Amino acid sequence: MMALTYRDLHMKPRKEILPDVCDLLDDDHKAVRKMFLEFRQMATANTAGSVNTRKDLAMRICAELTMHATVEEEILYPALRKEFRQTLLLAEAQVEHAGARDLIAQIRSANEVNEMFDAKVMVLGENVDHHVKQERIDIFPKARATSLDLVAMRKQVTQRKEELRAALATPA
C-alpha cells in the first residue's frame, strides 16, 4: 500500500481520512471474531484443562458484545434512523441484538462448561458473523453516505464505551 503524501492528506476532505465510528465498531468486530476463533479451537480440542479458560473467554466475549450492542443501540442506530429512508435494516439489526442478548444471558448463567455451553457460544459467534456482514455491506456504507459527523461520533462512542467498561470493573 502506498503511503499518503502531504498533498493527498490536504486535498481530501477530513472525513475520508480520519477513522470514524464505523472503523471503531469494525475494530470491535475483528477483536471479538478473534476471541470466537480461539474459543472454537479450545472447544473442539475439549481438553479438561481448558474449561476455566473457556469460561473466562466466553465471559469476556459476552462483555465485549454487550458493550458493542449498547453503543450501537444508544448512539449509532438512533442517529441513522433519522437519516435513512429505509429503516428495516436497522430494525433487523436490533432484533439480532435482542437474540444475541438472550444467548449471552444463557451463557452467563450457565453452571457448567459442557457441550451445550460451547454450542451456545459458537452459535453466538455465527450470529455475530451475520451482524458484521450486514454492517460492513449495508449499514456502514449507508452511514458514510449521510451528512452525519461520524468522526465526532467515534469520540462519543469511545467515551461511552469507557464508561461502560468502568461500570463493569466496579461491581454494584
Q: Which residues bind Fe ion (CB under 5 A)?
A: 25, 135
Q: By C-beta, is 43 or 71 nearer to Fe ion?
A: 71
Torsion from C-alpha of 133, 139, 144, 147, nearest 10 degrees: -170
* Residue 64 and residue 35 in contact, taking contact as beta carbons nearer than 8 Å: yes
CB of 65 to Fe ion, least distance (A): 9
CB of 127 to Fe ion, least distance (A): 11
Q: Is 143 exposed, middle or buried (0-12, 13-18, 19+ CB in 10 A)?
A: buried
Q: By C-beta, is 118 or 135 nearer to Fe ion?
A: 135
CB of 62 to Fe ion, least distance (A): 15
3-state secondary structure of 170: coil
CB of 16 to Fe ion, least distance (A): 21
Q: Give the integer Cα–Cα distance in Å for 118 and 161.
A: 27
Q: By C-beta, is 25 or 80 nearer to Fe ion?
A: 25
CB of 68 to Fe ion, least distance (A): 6
Q: By C-beta, is 96 or 149 nearer to Fe ion?
A: 96
Q: By C-beta, is 26 or 38 nearer to Fe ion?
A: 26
Query: Which one, of 72, 90, 73, lies nearest residue 81 by Cα?
Result: 90
* Residue 98 and residue 119 in contact, taking contact as beta carbons nearer than 8 Å: no
